Amino acid sequence: MSNLTRDLQRTWTKRRDEKARRLAKVERLAEGRVLPTESIVEALQALLAPGDRVVLEGNNQKQATFLSAALNQVDPAKINNLHMLMSSISRPEHLDIFERGIAKKVDFSYAGPQSLRVAQMLEDGVLDVGAIHTYLELYARLFVDLIPTVALVAADKADAAGNLYTGPNTEETPTIVEATAFRDGIVIAQVNELVDELPRVDIPASWVDFVVVADKPYQLEPLFTRDPRHITEVQILMAMLVIRGIYERHQVTSLNHGVGFNAAAIELLLPTYGESLGLRGKICRHWTLNPHPTLIPAIESGWVESIHCFGSEVGMEDYIAARPDVFFTGHDGSLRSNRLLSQVAGQYAVDLFIGSTLQMDGDGNSSTVTLGRLAGFGGAPNMGHDPHGRRHSTPAWLSLITSESPTVRGRKLVVQMVETFQRGNAPTFVESLDAIQVGRDAVLPVTPVMIYGDDVTHVVTEEGIAYLYKARDRTERRQALVAIAGVTPVGRQHDPRLNGRLRRDGLVAFPEDLGIRRTDAKRSLLAAKSIEDLVDWSGGLYKPPAHFRSW
Amino acid sequence: MSNLTRDLQRTWTKRRDEKARRLAKVERLAEGRVLPTESIVEALQALLAPGDRVVLEGNNQKQATFLSAALNQVDPAKINNLHMLMSSISRPEHLDIFERGIAKKVDFSYAGPQSLRVAQMLEDGVLDVGAIHTYLELYARLFVDLIPTVALVAADKADAAGNLYTGPNTEETPTIVEATAFRDGIVIAQVNELVDELPRVDIPASWVDFVVVADKPYQLEPLFTRDPRHITEVQILMAMLVIRGIYERHQVTSLNHGVGFNAAAIELLLPTYGESLGLRGKICRHWTLNPHPTLIPAIESGWVESIHCFGSEVGMEDYIAARPDVFFTGHDGSLRSNRLLSQVAGQYAVDLFIGSTLQMDGDGNSSTVTLGRLAGFGGAPNMGHDPHGRRHSTPAWLSLITSESPTVRGRKLVVQMVETFQRGNAPTFVESLDAIQVGRDAVLPVTPVMIYGDDVTHVVTEEGIAYLYKARDRTERRQALVAIAGVTPVGRQHDPRLNGRLRRDGLVAFPEDLGIRRTDAKRSLLAAKSIEDLVDWSGGLYKPPAHFRSW
């Protein structure tokens, strides 16, 4: 053996010993693995310690509200300087814990509703940001250098042994529990009810330390429901461009849609405009996305073979359960979503990502970060790039090859679909992203760009499509982009004399080049024009939340 | 509602009904969820149907040998044209099923030991290849367009209800079971034994249809054990270059190591050469890799904070169980590996990938595919690229920025470490990859490149380091690469008069530039020089398989 020696004094079970020490403190409170509802604050004070890394479940839709409220009630003199790991900062108490001094640092992915306050608290030094991640990279770091000490998660039901049933909103729960449980962390799950027999087991009891019945069911928001009434004719025109000029042209069979009315318009045109082009069975067969209600007509018309979901959507439960040939469901009949797996599938297994943004510069860089708001990007950057580790080919992927080199590879389609102006007349195309200033103000190490221009293959506006992947250099790229940027500051740089060459080289297509008449882009083309229509399409299985009902 | 109508005749439970039909056929064979060992062939004939998509578990290490042997015994007149989904084609019967006509098409990731026969059978039309994937993208497609009908998997133990304990080699089992179980596929698990109480539950019974006790334990191979006796002084020199010129320079704290003696040499130099540079605690703290025995000295010397594993390694079980502060272990004490999660972590959460290859061209493209062999690449392309969806920063990631643009981002370090000549004197650096010809012969849609040159940031040989990420254009990139390519056909194009500029611009570093004397690269620097040394370092906890023992 080498003359180096092992440190024989060192303990290798620090984490396990510390966990045992903490569990012993709550033994008198718990009945087996069940913590009484009213003891949760006391239990958290016993199970947490200053400086802990705490992963608090909160995706877009599903929030561990009982546990986050309880965390906000612990005594900051005892529990402080927590390092929070949260995919989404969604609720006021998520930030209150920083103001109260319970937590100090946060690593997160998305802060939509709280983005203004996050930026302010960062500026005031109340909160430190580790980094802003995509969902997938944040989950990844839970297994590397952000391993949690404690996980606070939400499930539908538990049995007394601690087995968990998450129901349709499985989402990120298994992932954050696995990271915590297998590194001697402490897993606490709030559940809506305790039952004798679970419909199915989503997380085995041997991964869970405590379950606690919440005072009320966890918060669940229908964030991905878009009312077709609000879809405009400009959006319908853009959707026609996408179907004709991208999906049909590149034979896109597997894809992800971002949320928003643009994507909803496409979904609602498949059974009408798409059908008239004879595209059923040829495009849009396999999806990774949340169960958007606006997909119902396409499903019912036989367009969709499979959908894997990040999460579920309130109101879609019965419809999903009745369509197991399309959705991933358990033997109990309800959806099994999985945010991590769906992000992996959306990154690697589909041919196209289509999303939208608030601002785009002349190089195609885009961001939803605008002045004063530090929103994060959720999953968009993960799906909105070309994964260089991909090695399998499809017709769509191969269709983006523009070189003759023997070592060339295909490319994922990354499409940005934007109107040239946002509501309130702010131009979408700008010389310089607001994100640059926001990044400087927040002293971020790099500008918070959502999708980088070099990853974008197509940009669609109401003016036409820029086929950026065909550009031979940065100048040509910019020429194609400004040609469809309308009368924005960027678009005004366009020289219309270039149009002939750009169209001939296939760098730009205007509606007429695709056989689309602007006057055909009518709301009558939508397969459903209202939430009520969607309910009808579903045969009454879709049950929209009250505030979407108008009839 | 629209005048379009739903197809009211359509069934939406085809998959579920078909599953029920098949399960009914084996009811008389099974006792609850337990199939008798001797009935497995009969059961497979009842549960499978021609054209099914069948995912057969076989990672590198762990093989569902009992089930693959049984599959080879079904009657091809009844069961044929199966579409196999296999991360690894490792065993002769994996190909026999194609020769017997039981299977026709395969989608896979790696075919190391069978690569010659795969190429031959493809040429003979006995087998169709869907595509060659990385592990992660193959798993991803199981949730999109390659959803399995049947999964044949391996676990250590089951209880009569069907709960599974995988033990340390959890690997891909949960992923392929989830894809199958939640789309009304049929999940059959071979187990080494049936027990009353499991040490822990890795997969809940509600995801499993049948368990069957195998006639003998599943095959498990120690594929990642490298005997330090075979590490050469050239490899030690290269390892010193990497530690000094890359890990120290870029402050690499989280990383993945490929398998092979090059990486083993680095691991064994950390407690000696690395220690002498004062780097403990500063570099190489967080790892995603299999539990390489050559990491034991670094772990014992306090270098390693965490390791997340793709799989386990035979002989490392007791050592891992005694080091829960470092490894991910269950409350039963044994490792929890997870190939998908570790691939996600290796892609997104670490700063550096270092691997090796058999051939590299002047643009830095590399492949392990050589003439006549269609090997696939396993996980290397997934970890050996810059994930453009990454948004969090680390000092290492930021250190690769070379531009002043406000929308610039950092970059993952992708390092290739190769000697200029392979064993048998074949040059590593070649004008044109053999993979191009292999791809043409096999009529693959693109050349099977393992790592693309544009993803590689550093190349290390015994001559020095090429810092490719600093090159301003393709010419400069090539100049840097040929400068360290020795006397290979590519290296002979080097003009030594460029050396001054290349060194000054930081494009190339030779050992002397890094303060390394070639004569210091001695085997005496290795923290362990033999398997026996590794056992000593482990305090006897590491129990190498018999064929690695020489004492």
Partner-chain contact B347 A389, CB within 8 Å: yes
Pairing of strands A150-158, A164-165: antiparallel
> Average pLDDT of chain B?
95
- The pLDDT assigned to A442 comes to 86
Nearest to B193 by CA among B212, B170, B221, B207: B212
pLDDT tens, position by position, A177-228: 999 999 999 999 999 999 999 999 999 999 999 999 999 999 888 888 999 9
Q: Quote the pLDDT of residue B547.
A: 86
A409 and B286 in contact by Cβ < 8 A?
no
**pLDDT tens figures, A42-97:** 999 999 999 999 999 998 789 999 999 999 999 999 999 999 999 999 999 999 99
What share of chain B in percent tops pLDDT 90? 89
Collapse the DSSP code of B296 into the 3-class scheme (helix H, G, I; strand E, B; otherwise coil) and give the result: helix
Question: Is A25:A47 a contact under the CB 8 Å cutoff?
Answer: yes
B-chain residues near A206 (CB < 8 A): 200-201, 330-332
* Torsion-angle region of B355 (φ positive above 0: left; ψ -120 to 50: alpha; else: beta): beta
Residue at token pair 């290397």: B380
B chain contacts of residue A342, beta-carbon cutoff 8 Å: 143
Report the residue of A15, A165, A182 to disrupt the B interface, i.e. the one with the largest count of B CBs within 10 Å.
A182
Report pLDDT for A60: 73
Check residue B442 and give its pLDDT. Answer: 86
Say if residues A461 and A418 touch (Cβ distance below 8 Å): yes
Whether residue B22 is predicted with pLDDT greater than 90 in this model: the reply is yes
Write out the residue limits of the CATH 3.40.1080.10 domain(s) in chain B. Answer: 22-220, 228-535
* Chain B touched by A192 (CB under 8 Å): no
Q: Is A378 helix (H, G, I), strand (E, B) or coil?
A: coil
In B, minimum Cα distance to A345 occurs at B140
User: Do A526 and B2 lie within an 8 Å CB cutoff?
Assistant: yes
**Structure confidence at residue A3 as a pLDDT band (50, 70, 90):** very low
Q: How many CB atoms lie within 10 A of CB A450?
A: 26
Model confidence band, residue B61 (pLDDT cutoffs 50, 70, 90): confident
Mapped onto helix, strand or coil, the DSSP state of residue B110 is strand
- The answer for A 211-230 residues in CB contact with B (under 8 A) is none
Between B112 and B389, name the one with better pLDDT: B389
B143 and A202 within 8 Å at the Cβ level: the answer is no
pLDDT at residue B398, rounded to an integer: 98
Q: How many Å apart are CA B385 and CA B415, to the nearest integer?
A: 10
Q: Select the CATH number that applies to the domain covering B22-220 from these four: 3.40.1080.10, 3.70.10.10, 3.50.50.60, 2.40.50.1020.
A: 3.40.1080.10
Q: What is the sign, positive or negative, of the torsion defined by CA atoms of B52, B53, B56, B58?
A: positive
Q: Any CB–CB contact under 8 A between A202 and chain B?
A: yes
Distances (CA, A) of A338 to A112, A466, B16: 21, 34, 21
Q: How far apart are CA A100 and CA A366, in angstroms?
A: 35
Q: Is some CB atom of chain A closer than 8 A to the CB atom of B157?
A: no
Q: Which of residues 12-71 of A touch B (CB under 8 A)?
A: 12-16
Residues of B (264-323) whose Cβ lies below 8 Å from A: 271-272, 285-286, 288, 297, 300-302, 305-306, 308, 322-323
| Partners of residue B407 in chain A, C-beta under 8 Å | 361, 363, 365, 433, 436, 447, 449, 452-453
Q: Which of B181, B410, B527 has its CB closest to that of A4? A: B527
Mutate to test the interface with A, among B391, B434, B443, B533 (most CBs of A within 10 A): B391
Q: What is the predicted pLDDT for the residue at A4?
A: 60
The single-letter DSSP state of residue B286 is E
Give the percent of chain B with pLDDT over 70. Answer: 98
CA distance to A210, B27, B45, B205, per residue, from B32 (Å):
31, 8, 19, 12
CATH 3.40.1080.10 location in chain A: 25-220, 228-535
pLDDT attached to residue B1 = 43
Q: Which helix (H) or strand (E) holds A103?
A: strand A103-110
Q: If we measure between CA atoms, which residue out of B324, B322, B256 comes closest to residue B292?
A: B256
The mean pLDDT of A408-417, rounded to a whole number, is 97
- What sign does the dihedral B504-B506-B509-B513 (CA atoms) show? positive
- For residue A468, give both structure tokens: 């950026």
B175 contact residues in A (CB cutoff 8 A): 341
Q: Which of B10, B202, B392 sits opposite A131 (nearest CB)?
A: B392
pLDDT confidence bin for B5, thresholds 50/70/90 = low
Where does residue B346 fall: left (phi above 0), alpha (psi -120 to 50 degrees), or beta otherwise?
Answer: alpha
Amino acid found at B303: W
The minimal CB distance from A388 to the residues B131, B184, B452 is found for B452
At B7 the pLDDT is 63
Instruction: Say whether pLDDT at A2 is over 60.
Output: no
Q: With bands split at pLDDT 50, 70 and 90, how would you rate the model's confidence at A281?
A: very high
Residue in B350, B382, B532 closest to A389 by CB: B382
The amino acid at residue B489 is P
Does position B174 have pLDDT exceeding 50, yes or no? Answer: yes
What average pLDDT does this structure show over B513-540?
97
Q: How far does the CA of residue B103 sit from the closest CA of chain A (Å)?
A: 20
Q: Which helix (H) or strand (E) holds B220?
A: strand B219-220
Q: Is the pLDDT of residue A137 over 50?
A: yes
- Average pLDDT of the segment spanning A104-108: 97
How far B107 CA lies from chain A's nearest CA (Å)? 9
- pLDDT band of B4, cuts 50, 70, 90: low
Looking at this protein, which amino acid is placed at residue A215?
Answer: D
More confident residue, B422 or B6: B422
Q: Which CATH number fits domain A25-220: 3.40.1080.10, 3.40.1590.10, 3.40.1380.10, 2.40.110.10?
A: 3.40.1080.10
Cα A177 vs. chain centroid, distance in angstroms?
19
**A319-357 residue pLDDT tens:** 999 999 999 999 899 999 999 999 999 999 999 999 999
Residue A416, SS3 per DSSP: strand
A-chain residues within 8 Å CB-CB of B393?
131, 445-446
- The mean per-residue pLDDT over the stretch A375-398 comes to 95
Residues of A whose CB is below 8 A from B344: 136, 139-140, 143, 340, 344
Contacts of B229 in chain A (CB under 8 A): none
| Pair A468, A457: CB distance under 8 Å | yes
d(CA B118, CA B103): 13
Question: Any chain A CB within 8 A of the CB of B452?
Answer: yes
How would CATH label the architecture of B228-535? 3-Layer(aba) Sandwich (3.40)
For residue B4, give the nearest of A7, A301, A363 by CB distance: A301
